A and B are shown apart, each in its own frame.
With several copies, the nearest count.
Chain A
Amino acid sequence: MTQTTALGVQYGPREGYADDVTRELVLELHRGMVRIRLFEEHAGKLVESGDMPGFLHLYVGEEAVATGVMSVLTDADQMTSTHRGHGHAIAKGAQFRPMFAELYGKTTGYCKGRGGSMHIGDTNKGMLGANAIVGGGIPIAVGAAFASQYRGDGTVAASFFGDGATNIGAFHEAVNMAAVWDLPILFICENNGYAEFTAQGNHMKLEDIAERAASYGIPGVVVDGMDVLAVRAVAVAAVERAKAGHGPTLIEAKTYRYFDHQGIKGMRIPYRDAAEVEAWRERDAIKLLEVIGTERDLVSAKEFADIWSQTEAEILEAIEFARNSPEPDPADILDDVYTV
């Protein structure tokens, strides 16, 4: 049964839509999104309760974007992320234990406690890291794509960034350079409608950021960022294009963050309506995939529920692991600054 949400978007299985979707794919994408959702919810609570240090920019609500894109990449494909990087890391294959350990600042963390939330990454999984400078990762991803082309190894790169980031100079320079050299890269703009607390309408005059692609002579695509299958489909096309030597694609995924810019409810000034949040939550990406999976008889409700509970258990175990991991030794403070 097809519903229409408050935002007027079709919700539920659609005629002729993703007809080729398999049970395996639904399970993989669902688990991917649930892993992010639960990781973020736990991480957010741990920081807010004071158990964990740092600032956290949570990805809850946007899971379909990272999951959909990353489902078409391999470990050899490189990726750069943002301040809101946990979801990208998990989708690219990062494990819960070193993720939590990093957030706890432990030696068993991905960055041995040196990086924390805003620099998290697993270089073995093709992640050139989260990045606390808006736009900072975009040129770096272009460099990874350059290496793909230079080596001719058939890999591609992907760079994630927000709507706000498309106003900064690094975005413009990097996309133009990648376009000029036909580099194999996907530029994925996660348009969640806000740069911190500033609504899109106050930071640019465009509705569709994908239009910016025209400035670089590359294709721009708008996709429903709450629909993981749709995201995956545009990513497949963009990767094909990249591998064929035709250069970059700018993908704009319309999405939404459910929590505050930083933390779960740090919002001290109401900069968006509760109704707006609710309307987006109604279109929740995980729920949508569950509807598709069950209505098509690909995956049972029980199986979906099991994914939630298994993931929850994994997370609790990983948190324990992180808590019990050793603290870094201040005697090593100068390690890892230089390669010697």
Chain B
Amino acid sequence: MTTRELTYVKAFNEGLHQVMAADPDVFLIGEDVAGYGGVFHMFDGLLTEFGPKRVKDTPIAEQAIIGLGVGAAARGLRPVCDLMFMDFVGVAMDQIFNQAAKMKYMFGGGVSVPLTITTAGGGGMSAAAQHSQSLEAWLAHIPGLKVAMPASAYDAKGLIVGAIRDDNPTIVVMNKKMLGMKGPVPEELYAIPMGQANVVREGSDVTIVAIARMVVEATKAAATLEAEGISVEIIDPRTVQPLDTDTIVTSVKKTNRAVIVHEAVEFGGIGAEISSQIQEAAFDYLDAPVARVAAPFSPSPYSPILENAYMPDAARIAARVRAVVGRG
């Protein structure tokens, strides 16, 4: 495999190009995904390469966008339906959770819905309360759906391909602030299957389970902590549904301490589920309570100063890890 550095968004884009080239049943619809290539460049070049039959701009109609994907998927195509901002799940939620996710089950298994939804989540751009959210906890609570959250260029490519090839409805949440981040990406087509966590970094004193861009912040924190003599293991679940509990629990049984980090508000976030599963499965191994680092219980603020205080970062993560380790 030839590997070179690509940005997160380019890697995603390349995965989409390759999987569309390989499978004529894959098509893409969404607002401004064709002529404009998506407001985040996620879909650059696809219209040119695959033409207007397979790459289509839609009206602003998210219920119809997702619903169209459900119907086309039930007929055996592999639609990719873009939702632009994750904050827009609210206008399409019924089609996501009552239709896409439940169709197979309600029909007693008689149909599969190999639909992929793409979207962009996360904060850090002063985009305020309706354009900065991380709502993965909602999606992970929906039986029938899978939820991928790439945290590197490598994963952005592998997870979009894995999602499209998965026979279930899957949502891939790209992180807006990571779009330009570079990382090594093989040229060839490859898929990362849903449900396989990534051990980003090995360590022995504490396990950090970090979601999406928080993997980057956790990695920074780990470097600082290493200098202080604290050895951090970082697990990126990659998909929050299914969740690779085994990998997480194995790690915590080794380190005896866990800190979970995500951008979403803490209350009811995916960290709560991960924390619960850790203490259910590794109670006797824990030297300290499982800790969470996440946003406070408020909408996302516009002011950069407030937003900086709102979003978890390396410093907050490191501080929490110190507290957890100090306790052990």
A interface residues (Cβ-Cβ under 8 A, vs B): 53-55, 78, 80, 105-106, 109-119, 121-124, 128-129, 131-136, 138-147, 150, 157, 164-165, 167-170, 172-174, 176-177, 180-181, 195-198, 202-204, 268-269, 271, 327-328, 330, 333-339
The distance in angstroms between the C-alpha atoms of A33 and B91, with both chains bound, is: 34
B interface residues (Cβ-Cβ under 8 A, vs A): 27, 31-32, 35-37, 39, 53, 56-77, 79, 87-88, 90-91, 94-95, 98-99, 103-112, 114, 125-131, 143-144, 146, 167-168, 296-299, 301-306, 308-310
Q: Tell me the nearest residue of chain B to A136, going by C-beta.
A: B99
Residues from chain A with a CB closer than 8 A to the CB of B109 are: 112, 114, 335-336
Q: What's the minimum C-beta distance from A269 to chain B, rounded to whole angstroms?
A: 6
Q: List 9 A-B contacts (CB under 8 A).
A: A55-B125, A110-B107, A114-B106, A114-B129, A165-B60, A168-B91, A268-B36, A330-B306, A337-B144
Instruction: State whether B31 touches A114 (Cβ < 8 A).
Output: no
Q: What's the minimum C-beta distance from B28 to chain A, rounded to whole angstroms?
A: 12
Residues from chain A with a CB closer than 8 A to the CB of B298 are: 333-334, 336-337
Instruction: State whether B131 touches A170 (Cβ < 8 A).
Output: no
Instruction: State whether A115 touches B128 (Cβ < 8 A).
Output: yes
Residues from chain B with a CB closer than 8 A to the CB of A141 are: 71
Q: What's the minimum C-beta distance from A132 to chain B, rounded to whole angstroms?
A: 4
Contacts A54-B302, A111-B108, A203-B59 given; does A269 touch B37 at CB 8 Å:
yes
Contacts A170-B94, A195-B60 given; does A118 touch B72 at CB 8 Å:
no
Q: Tell me the nearest residue of chain B to A138, going by C-beta.
A: B67
Instruction: State whether B31 touches A111 (Cβ < 8 A).
Output: no
Residues from chain A with a CB closer than 8 A to the CB of B91 are: 133, 135, 168-170
The distance in angstroms between the C-alpha atoms of A105 and B309, with both chains bound, is: 14
Instruction: State whether A146 touches B111 (Cβ < 8 A).
Output: no
A136-B95, A143-B79, A336-B298 given; name 19 further pairs at CB < 8 Å: A54-B127, A105-B304, A114-B302, A115-B128, A117-B128, A118-B127, A118-B128, A121-B107, A132-B130, A133-B94, A133-B98, A138-B67, A140-B71, A147-B76, A167-B59, A195-B59, A203-B59, A336-B108, A339-B112
Name the residue among B60, B62, B88, B128 with the largest chain A CB count within 10 angstroms: B60
Instruction: State whether A133 touches B128 (Cβ < 8 A).
Output: no
Instruction: State whether B168 touches A339 (Cβ < 8 A).
Output: yes
Residues from chain A with a CB closer than 8 A to the CB of B88 are: 133
The distance in angstroms between the C-alpha atoms of A172 and B59, with both chains bound, is: 11
Instruction: State whether B56 touches A133 (Cβ < 8 A).
Output: no
Residues from chain A with a CB closer than 8 A to the CB of B308 are: 330
Residues from chain B with a CB closer than 8 A to the CB of A150 are: 27, 53, 72, 77
Instruction: State whether A123 touches B107 (Cβ < 8 A).
Output: yes
Instruction: State whether B57 touches A114 (Cβ < 8 A).
Output: no
Contacts A141-B71, A144-B71 given; does A334 touch B297 at CB 8 Å:
yes
The one of A105, A269, A335 in contact with B35, judged by C-beta atoms closer than 8 angstroms, is A269
A-B contact count (CB 8 A): 271
* Chain A to chain B: the 6 pairs with minimum beta-carbon distance, closest first: A139-B67, A143-B71, A116-B302, A105-B303, A330-B309, A112-B108
Q: Tell me the nearest residue of chain B to A121, going by C-beta.
A: B107
Instruction: State whether A177 touches B64 (Cβ < 8 A).
Output: yes
The one of A112, A143, A177, A197 in contact with B59, judged by C-beta atoms closer than 8 angstroms, is A177
Instruction: State whether B75 touches A114 (Cβ < 8 A).
Output: no
Instruction: State whether B72 touches A147 (Cβ < 8 A).
Output: yes
Instruction: State whether B110 touches A133 (Cβ < 8 A).
Output: no
Instruction: State whether B60 touches A134 (Cβ < 8 A).
Output: yes
Instruction: State whether A198 touches B31 (Cβ < 8 A).
Output: yes
Instruction: State whether A139 touches B126 (Cβ < 8 A).
Output: no
Residues from chain B with a CB closer than 8 A to the CB of A105 are: 126, 302-306
Q: What's the minimum C-beta distance from B71 to chain A, rounded to whole angstroms?
A: 2
Q: Tell me the nearest residue of chain B to A129, going by C-beta.
A: B107
The distance in angstroms between the C-alpha atoms of A152 and B244, with both chains bound, is: 41
The one of A116, A123, A145, A165 in contact with B126, judged by C-beta atoms closer than 8 angstroms, is A116
The one of B57, B64, B103 in contact with A202, judged by C-beta atoms closer than 8 angstroms, is B57
The distance in angstroms between the C-alpha atoms of A133 and B304, with both chains bound, is: 21
Q: What's the minimum C-beta distance from A197 to chain B, rounded to whole angstroms?
A: 4
Residues from chain B with a CB closer than 8 A to the CB of A339 are: 104, 112, 114, 167-168
Contacts A133-B98, A150-B27, A337-B143 given; does A139 touch B303 at CB 8 Å:
no
The distance in angstroms between the C-alpha atoms of A335 and B72, with both chains bound, is: 23
Q: What's the minimum C-beta distance from A138 to chain B, rounded to whole angstroms?
A: 7
The one of B39, B73, B143, B303 in contact with A143, judged by C-beta atoms closer than 8 angstroms, is B73
Instruction: State whether A164 touches B106 (Cβ < 8 A).
Output: no
Residues from chain B with a CB closer than 8 A to the CB of A204 are: 59
Instruction: State whether B36 touches A271 (Cβ < 8 A).
Output: yes
Residues from chain A with a CB closer than 8 A to the CB of B128 are: 54, 114-119, 132
Name the residue among B36, B72, B77, B298 with the largest chain A CB count within 10 angstroms: B72
Residues from chain B with a CB closer than 8 A to the CB of A109 are: 108
The distance in angstroms between the C-alpha atoms of A167 and B57, with both chains bound, is: 13
Contacts A143-B69, A144-B75, A150-B27 given; does A177 touch B61 at CB 8 Å:
yes
Residues from chain A with a CB closer than 8 A to the CB of B39 are: 196
Residues from chain A with a CB closer than 8 A to the CB of B306 are: 105, 113-114, 328, 330, 333
